[in-house]
Each structure stands twice: as structure tokens, then as C-alpha cells.
Homo-oligomer: A and B are copies of this chain.
Amino acid sequence: MVIVNQMVQYPQIDRTFAALGDPTRRGILERLGQGSATITELAEPFGISLTGMKKHVRVLEDVELVTTVKVGRARLCSLGPRRLDDARQWIDTYQQMLDTRLDRLGELLERTKGEPQ
């Protein structure tokens, strides 16, 4: 039996998980949770260049976790509208699948207990 890609597919989920797989990008999201910030304000505490910070922000913008708006000569970054419900849903479904699998293995062990070795 081969069942592949049985779980719900979400178009942005690849890039979303990839975007979250970087400590600086998760740090940016955590920082923006305290309030909006310009690229300069974001770059400073992380000790990275403006160019480096712009790249990270672009990745987060691409998956709608961050929105930016130009204010004068600065670019103000805020948390975007995405709630990560798709990523959470994938993990929930995975955990349910894992539990079912472990239950089945447990049953199998129980059943083989009574059998001759």
C-alpha cells in the first residue's frame, strides 16, 4: 500500500517552514510582535548589515508573515496577516498520525505477547 501526499497541501507551506528555519528570521518575528520597526532598527540588535536584514525581511514578506511600508526614507516592518494556521495544521495532523502509528505498534506488541517465542 502506497499512500503519498495524503495530508492536506498548502501552497505556501514549503516556503513558510523554510522561512521559519532560521533563528534570525524567527527573532525578527518575535521583535515585531513588540511593535513595528524599521529595517535599521531591526538590523542593529541582531548585529547584521542592512542588506542582510533586507534579505531576511524579503523572505518573510514573500510568505506574508511581514508587511512593509515606505515611510519617508525608511521602510517600516510589521507583522503580516498570516497566522501560520497551515503550518500548525500540518504539525497537528502529523502528531495524530504518529499517535495512531504508535497505538498500532502497541497493539501488535500486546498481541504477540501471548504467542510462542
Interface residues of A (CB under 8 A from B): 1-7, 13-23, 26-27, 29-31, 33-35, 45-46, 79, 83-84, 87-88, 90-92, 94-95, 97-98, 100-101
Contact of A14 among B3, B22, B90 (CB under 8 A): B22
Are B1 and A34 in contact (CB-based, < 8 A)?
yes
Are B97 and A33 in contact (CB-based, < 8 A)?
yes
Q: State in angstroms the CA–CA spacing of A51 and B55 once bound together.
A: 32
Please state the number of chain copies in the assembly.
2
Q: State in angstroms the CA–CA spacing of A38 and B109 once bound together.
A: 22
Contact of A84 among B79, B84, B91, B100 (CB under 8 A): B91
- What B residues does A30 contact at CB under 8 A? 3-7, 94, 97
Between A3, A15, A46, A91, the greatest number of chain B beta carbons within 10 A of the residue's beta carbon is seen for A91
Contact of A17 among B3, B4, B6, B18 (CB under 8 A): B18
